[in-house]
Structure 1
Amino acid sequence: MNVIEIEKLTKDYMIGFWRKRPVRALDNLSLEVKQGEIFGFLGPNGAGKTTTLKLLMRLIYPTSGTARILGRSIDDVQMHQEIGYLPEHPYFYDYLTAREFLNYYGRLFKLSPSECERRANELLRLVDMEHAADKQLRKFSKGMVQRIGIAQALINDPKVVFLDEPMSGLDPIGRRQVRDIVQSLRERGKTVFFCSHILSDVEVLCDRVCIMNKGKMVAYGKLEDIQVGVTSGVEVVAAHIDQPAIRELETFASKVTETATGVHIELESERQVDRVLSIIRRADGKLVSVNPIKASLEDFFMREIGNQTGMGKKSEKDLPESVMV
């Protein structure tokens, strides 16, 4: 069952003062998200990710196209009672405590006082914030703010949750905590629309993805399907080869690593395999395996999008977080 259906969704912004002209932020997007999955929506800055989320939330209106959530039009106000949303840059009343904050959002959804209290306690446990329940938000770290933000997106027990860059700006511990929360949502049967440019998190969390660039869809589907036929080289594993042979391999191989299981030789091309096999035979070594090195999502992203956006020529500060050193 599809819980999100987007068909030919397009958004133009008018820019200019005297002579206004349209700039297309989202171009003819069509996709479906299935019930119970974590769907990754990713791309570089300016790809159209946040524009898409704002359209689905009805914070802005489309130039053309349609979208349905839970089988109902996004124009249906009642439907929005059944979804949760965490924007990329939320503004929270930081003078409230975590408990007061969640109770406030519960009242916005017309929950009874007892239900607000019950949901607040349940969500504070879920996001591991019970210890900070009576602490003001202004005293929270970035990671704590993100976790309490996810809690507010769940206060109405939504069927679908939209998260816009929930990992952005977090340290590794904070990212791991948020990642665990997102995985727990799937276990609870929630559908998660996960918008991010941190590729490693998408690769770990998501069942399917849509990759965007300059307002257009670049790729869509399961990660393994998107990356079919995309390899980043070949790995040869050999055993019982001597140091002179290893030194010869190091003159042309991308990487040579000695481990307890043998010598792992990474090559850029299959054409180099015959040369490696010849060296192994001369050294009276043993061939253990020859396998393609599967490209990561980052490899695919940089190949399909990096050249278009000139990422390879930019400084580190312009790169997605997952490719920063």
Structure 2
Amino acid sequence: MTQLSSNAEMSPAPNAGSPRAVVGCQQLSKVFKDFWMRDRARAVDRLDLVINEHEVFGLLGPNGSGKSTTIKLILGLLKPTSGRVSVFGKAPTDVSIKRRIGYLPEESYLYPFLNARETLDYYAKLFGLDAKTRKNRIDELLHMVGLEHAQFRPVREYSKGMQRRIGIAQALINDPDLLILDEPTTGLDPIGTRQVKDLIIELGRRGKTVILSSHLLSDVEDVVDRMVILYGGRIRGEGTCDELLASNERTVIETDELDEQTIAEIDEVIRRRTGGEKSIRQVSAPRQKLEELFLGIVERAQQEKASTSGARQGGMTAAFLRAEGEQVERQQGEELIESLLEDEQAAEPAVEEQTPLAAAIDQSEPSEPQGEDESLIGSLMDTEPQPDASVPIAPQERADTPEEDVDLGVIGSLLDESDEEPGSETDEDRKP
């Protein structure tokens, strides 16, 4: 496909009728003060905002632009310094509207030892739902967010994307009319981001009013119906995504691929019709988004029954997608092993020639010693072997017969002395 760009103007899209407003802000401001009540930071500055019913609305802006502060003002968690904010036509602090609001904070605060079903049941009890309603609502939400297979696993074992999805289910447990999501795609990979975005689109189809806060345009450009861009607490841009991204200085025409001659003829027609003031400025082939490329690769890999179970040892790089159970893969693996074995055998050094000593050892019959060798061997055989001091000698068992070098007379005299009774008089004692 070829894109042709010129500097012709494009007419704006007509505005649609405005439905009933759900959230309204008039000159809303929030100033944070220090200990001495001096102005420290103006987070929201004279904000005028209207969010309509059944609308997916985006709050865009960099970190610190006032998005989270605006959300807390809408929820009634912060009191405005000046201005007015209304939710369903009432003050945000009105208790009667709390049941109609669902909120997912930027960080999910969930009990790590509870599983998904226990977590949702806990929040359902806070809203006073009966047991039957709780069970039906939990089953519906687990199916909606795609966590039926992991409903009995502890939340601490969930990935970041699974925690965000159970957080969205928690925000929907009371079936709210207004759903507020603060940075729902923070820390998610492209696949988790796509799953959350598809869930938001589905909620919009079901008629929910959704406020989506993000600092990435790519997260909301294909999700929201309308958005505002905040910076420094003020609205810097407002409208639909097409309105904000449209350029009034160019017109883009997309066709199938054209050759150079056809492009030159089109350029000549444009110059002739405009008196030479306008012409083709650029001819390029469109590029797909990186997210679409990544998701396409993953989808094709899933169709080929590949998995991302992890890297395996065997090389300097590990495959991100690895096929399992395919005969082709096994055959390729066997061929690779055979080639590695052949290379290893080829790399082994040649066998060296045997030394005379090795040749003598390998002979089947020992040769007779001759000359000086015979006398040397004889002297070694006559010499008694000396024990090695470094090797401990095990104690030998005592023989039953006495050794020849033992003096038997000494042993007999000792036995005679032991037969004498203690205290008996000897010949020396009887002498006067």
Who is 2:94 aligned against?
76
Aligned-residue offset at 1:18: 6.0
Aligned residues of 1:48 and 1:212 also touching (Cα < 8 A): yes
Who is 1:202 aligned against?
220
Who is 1:241 aligned against?
260
Who is 2:202 aligned against?
184
Per-residue displacement from partner, 1:155-183 (whole Å, max 9, x unpaired)?
00000100000011101110111011101
Who is 1:9 aligned against?
28
Aligned-residue offset at 1:224: 2.6
What is the 5 A alignment of 1:170-319? 170-229=188-247, 239-241=258-260, 274=279
C-alpha spacing 1:231/1:124, structure 2 compared with 1 (3 Å): farther
C-alpha spacing 1:275/1:7, structure 2 compared with 1 (3 Å): closer
Alpha-carbon distance between aligned partners in 2 of 1:140 and 1:59, rounded to the nearest angstrom: 29
Aligned residues of 1:37 and 1:191 also touching (Cα < 8 A): yes
Alpha-carbon distance between aligned partners in 2 of 1:62 and 1:137, rounded to the nearest angstrom: 36
Aligned residues of 1:167 and 1:198 also touching (Cα < 8 A): no
Say what the alpha-carbon RMSD is for the aligned residues.
3.1
Partner residue of 2:76 out of 58, 65, 71: 58
Residue identity over aligned pairs, in percent, reads: 43
Aligned-residue offset at 1:78: 1.3
SS at match of 2:260: coil
* TM-score using structure 2 length: 0.55
Who is 2:174 aligned against?
156
Letter paired with 1:3: V
Alpha-carbon distance between aligned partners in 2 of 1:129 and 1:163, rounded to the nearest angstrom: 19
Letter paired with 1:239: L
Per-residue displacement from partner, 1:119-167 (whole Å, max 9, x unpaired)?
1111000000001111110000000000000000000000010000001
SS at match of 2:129: coil
SS at match of 1:206: coil
Structure 1's consecutive aligned runs of 4 or more residues displaced over 4 angstroms after TM superposition are: 230-238, 271-277
- List alignment gaps of at least 5 residues for structure 1: 250-270, 278-289, 297-325
Alpha-carbon distance between aligned partners in 2 of 1:172 and 1:36, rounded to the nearest angstrom: 27
Aligned residues of 2:101 and 2:176 also touching (Cα < 8 A): yes
Alpha-carbon distance between aligned partners in 2 of 1:272 and 1:155, rounded to the nearest angstrom: 60
Aligned-residue offset at 1:41: 0.6
SS at match of 1:6: strand
C-alpha spacing 1:227/1:240, structure 2 compared with 1 (3 Å): closer
SS at match of 2:132: helix
Aligned-residue offset at 1:225: 2.7
SS at match of 2:42: strand
Alpha-carbon distance between aligned partners in 2 of 1:90 and 1:231, rounded to the nearest angstrom: 44
Aligned residues of 2:123 and 2:173 also touching (Cα < 8 A): yes
Who is 1:40 aligned against?
58
SS at match of 2:51: strand
Alpha-carbon distance between aligned partners in 2 of 1:19 and 1:6, rounded to the nearest angstrom: 25
Letter paired with 1:148: I
Matched, 1:111 2:129: yes
Aligned-residue offset at 1:94: 1.0
Alpha-carbon distance between aligned partners in 1 of 2:156 and 2:195, rounded to the nearest angstrom: 20
Alpha-carbon distance between aligned partners in 2 of 1:276 and 1:58, rounded to the nearest angstrom: 52
> Per residue, is there more strand in 1 or in 2?
1
* Count of matched residue pairs: 257
Who is 1:265 aligned against?
none
Alpha-carbon distance between aligned partners in 2 of 1:137 and 1:272, rounded to the nearest angstrom: 64
* TM-score using structure 1 length: 0.72
Alpha-carbon distance between aligned partners in 2 of 1:72 and 1:25, rounded to the nearest angstrom: 23
- List alignment gaps of at least 5 residues for structure 2: 1-19, 265-275, 290-432
Who is 1:140 aligned against?
158
Report which of the two structures shows the higher radius of gyration computed on alpha carbons.
2
Aligned-residue offset at 1:19: 7.6
Aligned-residue offset at 1:20: 3.8
| Structure 1 range deviating more: 233-242 or 186-195 | 233-242
Matched, 1:26 2:44: yes
Aligned-residue offset at 1:239: 3.3
Alpha-carbon distance between aligned partners in 1 of 2:248 and 2:281, rounded to the nearest angstrom: 22
